[in-house]
Amino acid sequence: MPASGRRSKNCGNCRSIKRRCDQKFPHCGQCIRAHEECQGYRDEWELVFRDQTTHTIKRSKDARAKADGLETLKRSPPSRTLSLSSDEVGVNYFLFHFVVGGLSPSRGYLDYVPAVFSADGENPTLIASMAAVGLAALANSTQQPELSQRARTKYWEAIDKVNAALSSPVESIKDSTLMSVISLGLFEHVSNFETWFQYIKGTVALVVSRGKSQFSSPASIPMFNQVRADMCAACVHRLEPFPRDMLELQEEASKQADNSSCLWLLGVLATRTVNLLSDVTVTKIKDGATLAYFLEESAILQRDFQDVLGNFRTQEPYATIEDHSGDPDLIYNSRYDLYRSAWAIRLWNNSRILQVIICEIEFHLLSKALTAGLPPARQKEIATTLEKTCRILKTLGDDILATVPQSLGAVLSPAESPTSADLSSDPSANGSASGGHLLMWCLYTVGKSPVTRGRTRKWVMKRLRDIAQKSGLPIALQFVNDIDEIDKAASILESADN
């Protein structure tokens, strides 16, 4: 993706009348003062790159097909005939899958990378980080040991550059340095959860060290959102509270962020959910008052979620498709949902994961209440509430599984075509690496849910194994092992009941 010519980053109004623009977000100050409706800014991605990835992939496929005598090639390893260096191949692969969004018309979930490029140019630390991640993802998806070794070499080069940047008072506070660290966090997914968790703690430490002044740049809020989301996932998995210093930064960031944004509101709700889960886990509930307190806290969170979901349904609606002829390994229970973008899928699934956690908290508390020797009338009331909670959990799980086909690129969004793509084909041939990365946590959430049954757990484990194999994410295999242990324990209980 070579650099395009320099183009104005001013808003549409200021460009049209050649007025000096202050480029403030979300709206230009000049437009506000003139009482004009700001037309917004150009897509920063278009200001930095023009996409040549599709052409590069086609050349690679044609060369490999000719060498092997194949008519169709499902994978796209870099051809030795390409003039691109391994660094350029790695960066292109990273940008194509994690930023542009693969074959989807939407951006990938690291869509704020262009803003960092625009501010700091082609920072060598960031380039090395993206090349390492891109080469690792490509090596794992194409099973090329030689490329994997190059990725590992580039990773250590990137680590050296990051360490050098962190030792500099000037470089350590740059957005490009934090973006480099966030990028390398993806590389840790080729290791295991424990190394990734330690890496995320280091990323949080860097964000904290940048202080309250970091939120003046356009990319700072999206990067904070990313680190906050990663830390929430890590805290949920380890049953730990959200770091207090990050909560303080969240308060500071709220002064610059769009507080009406669904993404921002979800992040705030995520930190509250993480802390409630941690409190319930460490607290020994010995009396009805403590039990009632936690149930009330979870109910408040649920109500707050419903307020946010009301905006979701208006801003990001989706269509449910019944397809009884599709591949059952890809379409669970003959249903999949179509969203307008991968971004919408991410928002919806993040909200569902958090709701599942709250419902699991309620499930735990209500189950405990049923053994507390309460009067029959109260026990009946609690049992009814527990049954309702289980239904909600089941619905949330079904909704998450219905996002799998589009997340993996096996169906097209409504913006691309009104009809579905070939659901019998290998989804990894169409989907992006970022799709598997984001789905991994969603599938894990469904697989370990207390209402998920054996058939569903086995479907989830198969999908996670495919992601581990085709996207090169061994953490997915760790999730499979966790779910498998749950499945075995459930089978023993079912056998005992029978």
Q: What residue numbers bound the domain in which 23 lies?
A: 8-44
The answer to whether residue 110 scores a pLDDT higher than 80 is no
State the pLDDT at residue 101: 56
Q: What is the DSSP letter of 255?
A: T
- Given a contact cutoff of 8 angstroms between Cβ atoms, the answer to whether 428 and 408 are in contact is yes
In a domain, 19, yes or no: yes
Element (H, E) at 362: helix 342-369
Cα 358 to Cα 302: distance, rounded to the nearest angstrom: 7
The answer to whether residue 381 scores a pLDDT higher than 80 is yes
Q: What is the percentage of the chain residues whose pLDDT exceeds 90?
A: 29
The answer to whether residue 361 scores a pLDDT higher than 90 is yes
Do residue 220 and residue 157 come from a single domain?
yes
Q: 174, 209, 230 — which closes off a domain?
A: 230
Read off the amino acid at residue 247: L
How does the average pLDDT of the chain come out, rounded?
79
In a domain, 430, yes or no: no
In a domain, 106, yes or no: yes
Please, what is the angle between helix 376-401 and helix 342-369, to 10°?
A: 160
In a domain, 36, yes or no: yes
Cα 147 to Cα 111: distance, rounded to the nearest angstrom: 26
Closest residue by Cα to residue 97 from 124, 128, 136:
136
Mean pLDDT of 174-193: 78
User: Which one has a higher pLDDT value, 140 or 462?
Assistant: 462
The answer to whether residue 346 scores a pLDDT higher than 70 is yes
In a domain, 303, yes or no: no
In a domain, 122, yes or no: yes
Which tokens in the block code for residue 10? 């001013």
- Given a contact cutoff of 8 angstroms between Cβ atoms, the answer to whether 132 and 155 are in contact is yes
Mean pLDDT of 226-241: 90
Least confident stretch, 42-46, 88-92, 267-271, 354-358: 42-46
User: Which one has a higher pLDDT value, 59 or 108?
Assistant: 108
Cα 241 to Cα 281: distance, rounded to the nearest angstrom: 10
Q: pTM to 2 decimals?
A: 0.74
Q: Taken in order 450, 452, 455, 460, is the CA torsion positive or negative?
A: negative
Residue with token string 């809020």 = 221
Mean pLDDT of 438-451: 91
User: Which one has a higher pLDDT value, 354 or 1?
Assistant: 354
Mean pLDDT of 276-290: 88
State the pLDDT at residue 401: 96
The answer to whether residue 298 scores a pLDDT higher than 80 is yes
Which tokens in the block code for residue 361? 């908290």
The answer to whether residue 427 scores a pLDDT higher than 60 is no
Do residue 38 and residue 149 come from a single domain?
no
